[in-house]
Amino acid sequence: MNTVQRLLSNTVLAFISSIVVKAGNALLFILIGRWLGPGESGAFSLATTYYTFVFGLSALGLHEIMVRDLPARRDESGRYLVNYLTLRLLLSVAAYGLLLLGLRLFSPYSATTTQIILILSLAVIPEAVFSICQSLFEAHERLVTPMLASIASSGVKLLAGFWLLRQGAQVVQIAWVIPIASAASLIVFAPGLARLFRRVPQRLPARLDAAFVRLQLGYTPSFFVIQFFSLLDYQSDALLISLMLSEEALGHYTAAQTILLAFNLMPLAIRTAVYPLMSRYYHEAPDKLAVLYDKISRYLFALVLPLATGVTLLAAPIIALVFGPGFEPAVPVLQICIWAIVFLFLNVPHARLLLIHHKQREAARMLGGVTLLNVALNLLLIPRAGIAGAAVARLLSSFALYASFYAYTHATVMKLSGRPSLARPLLANALMAAAVWWLRAFPLPASIAAGVVVYAAAALLLGIVPPQDLVYWREIVRRRD
């Protein structure tokens, strides 16, 4: 398998892994919303927000460091696994203890909501193990095992949650599904780890090494700051809505975010696939890194633009189809937040370049400034415009982060065009938007299918994919056949 084939394969595998690991929570949220209403689904969403904080703050950026450094020293995989796993478990237990203490000393929520938060957040411990194992396989560019583990976790989560809802369970009982499913999925990693270490002889023993741990911890401060501000940036709106409005309002807001889940996970999957490859090119073939960066930037723009346009035009029927009546306030949130996803897509190559060039400290500063902007905008707009104000804050802060990363990357790291060609994708997108608008009264699948066909045909006729790339893709397909 050549480099492009490996990249495409890993992107697909990473996307599947990313979407299924989130699908359990997302589908469970949808089921809770349909069965129990916006208030109960809002409590579940709030618990997920706290879990995300605890998990993220206990990570210290170890996932990113491992994926960045291990591809060049795979014969030390055992040492990395043992030491990173020990460190990650200790940090997770400590973070959960701090959450428990904080909610005991100060909690603005009801006793039931607090209990849901504590139960669901127990998942940080098995998920810490999952994260390190996943990092190891990503560094080796072997993503089948993490994908299978994700499928197992989501399958247990969804089936158990659905059964409990059918039995009349409330959210407190359903919350136990999350940590149990996370623990069960770890079994899948055992045979994959055995195969991996049989294929890769190890130069150093797999044992705890205090000096090695201290060295790795020295890399973490900037990554921790990035992680902290990323969490605050992406979770502050949900937290502030729960404090300033109500759990029902949070349920409406999270309904829109649940629809956006797949779109959020697509750049994550692309990032997972390209990060180790970009890291390897940085050390071995800088000229290939420049070409890869330029192509990723152009293709991402051509991909995300029609997605955002289509969701904007079809937001109302999408919300009605997934959640049913009672979730109409989620429609404007979805129409606004989908455009924040555009900047999330476009930021993928810039953010990875900063990390592989060891510019994480500068990235942390920019992210910190944007996070403060996001919090300030939420505090300003939520009281005035409700959950739509939170959506506007998300859009503006996402644009600010993209603009700052783009400007810094092009000024200091990668002085290429890196600016997507706008005219042809915009014209193809306009043709697609016209077709979708004309068919908006038809059943949703018809509108979506028409949009896909029109955009694909326009992209082909306008030459959005360069002829030389078409020849290359055809050659890849021919070789695969």
Q: Are residues 269 and 378 in the same domain?
A: yes
How many whole angstroms separate alpha carbon 411 and alpha carbon 395?
24
Q: How far is residue 229 from each of residues 102, 375, 391, 409, 474, measured CA to CA in Å?
A: 20, 11, 18, 19, 42
pLDDT score, position 17: 64
Q: Are residues 63 and 176 in the same domain?
A: yes
Q: Are residues 197 and 232 in the same domain?
A: no
Q: Which of 159, 186, 218 lies at the terminal end of a domain, its last residue?
A: 218
Q: Which of 178, 194, 218 lies at the terminal end of a domain, its last residue?
A: 218
Q: Are residues 316 and 440 in the same domain?
A: no
List, for residues 133-150, the tens digit of each pLDDT value: 888 888 777 777 888 888
Nearest of 240, 204, 189, 214 to residue 78 by alpha carbon? 204
358 pLDDT more than 80: no
> Residue 326 — left, alpha, or beta (φ > 0 → left; ψ -120 to 50 → alpha)?
left
pLDDT score, position 2: 47
List, for residues 194-239, the tens digit of each pLDDT value: 888 888 778 777 778 788 878 777 777 767 777 777 777 777 788 7
How many domains does the chain fold into?
3
Q: Are residues 286 and 404 in the same domain?
A: yes
Q: Residue 269 carries which side chain, given as an amino acid letter?
A: A
Q: Which of 416, 435, 470 lies at the terminal end of a domain, its last residue?
A: 416
Task: Please state the pTM of the whole predicted model.
Answer: 0.65
Q: Are residues 259 and 198 in the same domain?
A: no
Cβ–Cβ under 8 Å, residues 375 and 239: no
Residue span of the structural domain in which 175 resides: 1-218
Q: Which contacts (CB < 8 Å, 24+ apart) does range 191-194 have?
A: 192/137, 192/142, 192/144, 192/145, 192/148, 193/81, 193/133, 193/136, 193/145
Q: Are residues 263 and 309 in the same domain?
A: yes
Q: Are residues 447 and 372 in the same domain?
A: no
List, for residues 282-333, the tens digit of each pLDDT value: 777 777 777 777 777 778 888 888 889 999 999 888 888 888 777 888 899 9
Q: Are residues 374 and 434 in the same domain?
A: no
List, for residues 66-93, the tens digit of each pLDDT value: 877 777 778 778 888 888 888 889 989 9
Cβ–Cβ under 8 Å, residues 309 and 341: no
| pLDDT band (50, 70, 90) for residue 1 | very low
Q: Are residues 11 and 132 in the same domain?
A: yes
Q: Are residues 339 and 292 in the same domain?
A: yes
How many whole angstroms separate alpha carbon 256 and alpha carbon 268?
19
Q: Are residues 169 and 253 in the same domain?
A: no
